[in-house]
Amino acid sequence: MLDKDGMEVPATILSFCTFYLHPTFENPVRKISTIPFTLEESGWGEFDMKIVCHFKGKAGQFSIYHDLSFADNAYAVDYTIDVPYYLPEFRPFLEKDFDLPAIDADPEPYKGGTKWLREVPFLDEDQVTEFVQKILNNSAVQSEVEKRDKMDTFYMYLGQLPDDLIDELGYFIQNRGMEDSNDSKAQLKQEDDSEIFGDI
């Protein structure tokens, strides 16, 4: 990898990389856990090789799709990746080779009322599903998701979500209890009516 000065340095931020070779290779899935994470093999010629690399500190992973070609005896391809520099447990691995932006230098977080966030851990399974679906259905979030490989892990701050989406989520949480309460009251009223009038 290239450091802050554009100099090549060991990829010490990685824990391991998994190479997915052509199916004609024996053991086509190879896990390499030592720097420089290189693989030497002979066999099938040109093919698209997938490489999945994992960051240290369980900070996620990224995928590279390398077009393996023998048109040249040797060639180099540069890849750009997104690095979760904001994760506290991962930042120490980056500080040696990179100038990291301060967390406070990130875009200002959403300043609206977010006390409703405390209620999220108490949602039931159906409510969690609906909550997550509201996020995934948002066009801005969909656009960001479509930029990523489906196998990659990535993170979004609350402050990165559109303000209107945060308002919608807050409204959903704050009014969910009222809806459940109204459902319960309706059920109780129905039971009371049954006791008074009996079955018809």
- What pLDDT, in 10s, does the model give residues 167-192? 888 889 888 755 554 444 444 444 44
CATH 2.60.40.1970 domain locations along the chain: 14-95
Higher-confidence residue: 154 or 79? 79
Residues 8 and 2 sit within 8 Å (Cβ to Cβ) = yes
pLDDT-derived band at 21 (thresholds 50, 70, 90) equals: confident
The most confident of the ranges 33-37, 66-70, 79-83 is 33-37
* Residue 67 to residue 64: CA distance in whole angstroms: 10
Query: Above 70 in pLDDT, residue 154?
Result: no
pLDDT at res. 179: 53
The rounded percent of the chain whose pLDDT value lies above 70 is: 70
Name the pTM for this structure: 0.49
Q: Exposed, middle or buried by CB within 10 Å (0-12, 13-18, 19+), for 53? A: buried
* The CATH number of the domain covering residues in 14-95: 2.60.40.1970
Average confidence score pLDDT of the chain: 74
Of the candidates 96, 92, 73, the residue with the CA atom closest to the CA atom of residue 84 = 92
pLDDT-derived band at 74 (thresholds 50, 70, 90) equals: low
Residues 57 and 88 sit within 8 Å (Cβ to Cβ) = no
* Residue 29 to residue 200: CA distance in whole angstroms: 68
Query: Above 70 in pLDDT, residue 11?
Result: yes
* Residue 19 to residue 178: CA distance in whole angstroms: 52
* Residue 9 to residue 59: CA distance in whole angstroms: 20
User: Could you read off the pLDDT of 106-140 as tens digits, one per residue?
Assistant: 455 545 566 788 888 888 888 989 988 988 888 87
